Structure 1
Amino acid sequence: MSLRIALLGLLDATGPASGYDLAKSFERSLNHVWQAGHTQIYPELVKMAADGLVAVESEGARGRKLYAITPEGASQLRSWLVEREPSSATRSEVALQAFLLPLLDRESAIAVVERIRARFAERLAVLECKPKDTPGFGRYALRLGLTQGHAGLAWADETLAELRGLEPAPAELSGPASAAVDDAVGRD
């Protein structure tokens, strides 16, 4: 997903907004699925205006601009939503640490999983404070985030139980899967 699409979506959902307003909206809502700061948002808005996707609706004191989505921007947003196949490529530091856990001794691995579990719990606590039955913008992403948070906690709890010897470990990898792991971590 691009920052451009996220900005178009916010402008379409909330109406005209300044770069500052959009950055605050990111912090309150989209930050759970897509992060962007002021230093990314302002230059992107300028590019989007040059491309005709947003227009400066008004300019206030100290150069504060209110941006509004244009019909071309709304069309591009709708096309992205309806036609784009979401990327299934995953780039997750949590998943990478989970993959590499066998490289650590038991106590270090437990500490890593406890840290990951704490992050899932923190994120879930934030999401659980949000109104769940509110109709409109963001409710489906909220349910997805809650489901992912609960799944992350379940994974962490199962992994901690296994590392602590409270339940049997699954069979070790063998064959091609084992060779792929050995190649990935440089073992012979």
Structure 2
Amino acid sequence: MSLRNALLGLLVFRPGSGYDLLKMFDTSLGYVWPAKQSQIYGELTKLDATGLIKVTDEGPRGRKQYSLTPEGHAETVRWLTENRESRPLRNPMLLQTFFLGLLPREEAVQRLLDHAEASAKEQDTLVALRDTEDWDKDMLTVCGRLVLEHGIRQRELEQEWAHWAAEQLRTGTLAGPAEPATDTYQADTGTANSGQDEVSS
């Protein structure tokens, strides 16, 4: 998926200006595919240049309203029906978790608890949005509600996992950061020495 696909998909339902599309990202879509204002306006310019969308109205202060062209609609359908191999998602937090053993145990536990707290705050924000918006306007908002619910449930899962993981570190047998080795291991004898040769008489 790309920002290009997201914008084309939104314009399938109704024409909109850059500001209208930005609001959609701020209220729901941005939780799964975040985009900045400059990125959205830049991508709209590219889509207009390639003929996938067109300007159908212009207002004050340079406001442009965009509509999907038949080519843009065909591209969106192609994207939705295209078979793709699943690819693992990159997750910076899980990558850091993989190396938490390099930190003191207490700090590693706190990192996980901080993640649980952040997920709880994000969940509260999404729940508040769910409870204040009208999600039955059209199929766009209905499907937007599905995406929002995924975000709510995902953050609930993140909290459960983070508390579980913190408890594993707190009560488990994981060691702290490894100390620099001072002994060398002799593979042929299975013994270790301090680097000094024994003096035989």
* TM-score, normalised with respect to structure 1: 0.81
Distance 1:86 1:50, change over 3 A: farther
Higher relative contact order, chain-length normalized (CA < 8 Å, sep 6+)? 2
Distance 1:84 1:139, change over 3 A: farther
**Match status 1:6 vs 2:6:** yes
Task: Note the residue ranges of structure 1 that are not aligned, 5 or more in a row.
Answer: 171-188
Q: Check whether the contact 1:133–1:139 (CA below 8 A) recurs between aligned residues.
A: no
Deviations 1:46-94, CA, capped at 9 Å, x for gaps:
1101111111011111211001111211111111111142642311111
| Whole-angstrom distance in 2 between the partners of 1:105 and 1:36 | 36
Q: Check whether the contact 2:8–2:76 (CA below 8 A) recurs between aligned residues.
A: yes
The number of aligned residues is: 167
Who is 1:106 aligned against? 105
Q: Check whether the contact 1:55–1:68 (CA below 8 A) recurs between aligned residues.
A: yes
Shift of the alpha carbon at 1:164?
A: 2.2
Distance 1:42 1:134, change over 3 A: closer
Task: Note the residue ranges of structure 2 that are not aligned, 5 or more in a row.
Answer: 137-141, 175-201
Shift of the alpha carbon at 1:44?
A: 0.6
- Look up the SS of the partner of 2:87 in the other structure: coil
- Look up the SS of the partner of 2:56 in the other structure: strand
Once superposed, which parts of structure 1, at least 4 consecutive aligned residues long, lie more than 3 Å away?
131-135
- Look up the SS of the partner of 2:67 in the other structure: strand
| Whole-angstrom distance in 1 between the partners of 2:83 and 2:23 | 27
| Whole-angstrom distance in 2 between the partners of 1:108 and 1:39 | 38
Who is 1:118 aligned against? 117
Who is 1:179 aligned against? none
- Please give the root-mean-square deviation of Cα atoms over the aligned residues, in Å: 2.1
Give the letter for the 2:43 counterpart.
E
Give 1:122-161 correspondences, 5 Å limit: 122-129=121-128, 130-131=130-131, 134-135=135-136, 136-161=142-167
Give % identity. Answer: 42
- Look up the SS of the partner of 2:34 in the other structure: coil
Q: Check whether the contact 2:28–2:147 (CA below 8 A) recurs between aligned residues.
A: no
Give 1:1-188 correspondences, 5 Å limit: 1-13=1-13, 15-85=14-84, 87-129=86-128, 130-131=130-131, 134-135=135-136, 136-165=142-171, 168=172
